[in-house]
Amino acid sequence: MTTALITHPDCLNHETPEGHPEQVARLAHVLAALEGKAVTRITAPMVAEDDLLRVHPKAYLDSIRAAAPTEGLAQIDADTWMSPGSLSAAHRAAGGAVRAVDLVLGGEAGRAFVAARPPGHHAERETAMGFCLFGNVAIAAKHALDHHGLARVAVVDFDVHHGNGTQDLLEDEPRALFISSHQFPLWPGTGTADETGPHDTVVNLPIAPGTGSQEFRRLYEEKVFPRVRDFAPELILVSAGFDAHRADPLAELQLETADFAWITDRLCDLADDCCGGRLVSCLEGGYDLDALAESVAAHVDVLIARDAG
């Protein structure tokens, strides 16, 4: 069984203003770091409308299409922009997440990593924000549940920012467990521990600025892994943001590249125990280009090694 890498050149055409942290160079650095690795490269398709409509209302989708510029840049909110290539990129990012689920659940890949942008975990039902247009991981989760008929999926989000969008899109879905570890206080200001959702399927783990490897690993060993195991998911989805790295300019956690390899390995352990190894990971944040590339390479190296084993 091999690891799938899902991406598309369109995701390099989503342009943002000069100096914006969510820049084309992020994906370019990631793809360069993954060059030559033993993965099966898959072209991310355009997402199906039905998959988008599982989490976003049609009026919202229409508003995003209407906002897409034919030239120049269009500002969606304080942090979120669109260029002429953004709509296709966003459709590829969501479509790539869905394709990854199809590959893993169909037995064509052991695990999968979606290297695409724009990211997705801040996009709420009717609000684009935090660099995100569509809820990529939530779309993939609902596709696994509704199209493939799974009974339970778990989403683990280790991006340094709270996955407010994924929470908004999945908290009413009792078949989905959503766990987010994130620096707090930090933008977007949500994700307190008392936000547990109407079905007690939301777990928020705020982490104080300055926290490093030891406390991060303890938190996951004590709070995250047991909760996922108890939920017994049939698929694990990962919102893989690498902005908790100590070099990242947008936050103040102190993780090392080795911590991302560690959490990937432990999540693979969980997937092996719970769901036949089935795990799909989607790129979210990470804004120091060198740290991002190095961390993604470490993440994917573990996925490859676990599939080879």
Active centre residues (catalytic): 122
Q: Output the six-digit token pair for 68.
A: 């897409």
Residue with tokens 């790539």: 96
Paired with 180 in beta bridges are 157, 204
Backbone angles phi, psi at 83, to 5 degrees: -120, 180
Alpha carbon of residue 187 to chain centroid? 17
Q: DSSP H helical segments within 152-224, as ranges?
A: 164-170, 213-219
Collapsing DSSP to helix, strand or coil, 272 comes out as: helix
How are beta strands 74-75 and 81-82 bridged, if at all? antiparallel
For residue 279, CA distances in Å to 50, 136, 225, 235 come to 23, 15, 14, 6
CA pair distance 125, 93, nearest whole angstrom: 17
How are beta strands 153-157 and 236-240 bridged, if at all? parallel
Alpha carbon of residue 100 to chain centroid? 12
Angle between the 289-308 and 257-275 helix axes, to the nearest 10 degrees? Answer: 30
CA pair distance 213, 66, nearest whole angstrom: 44
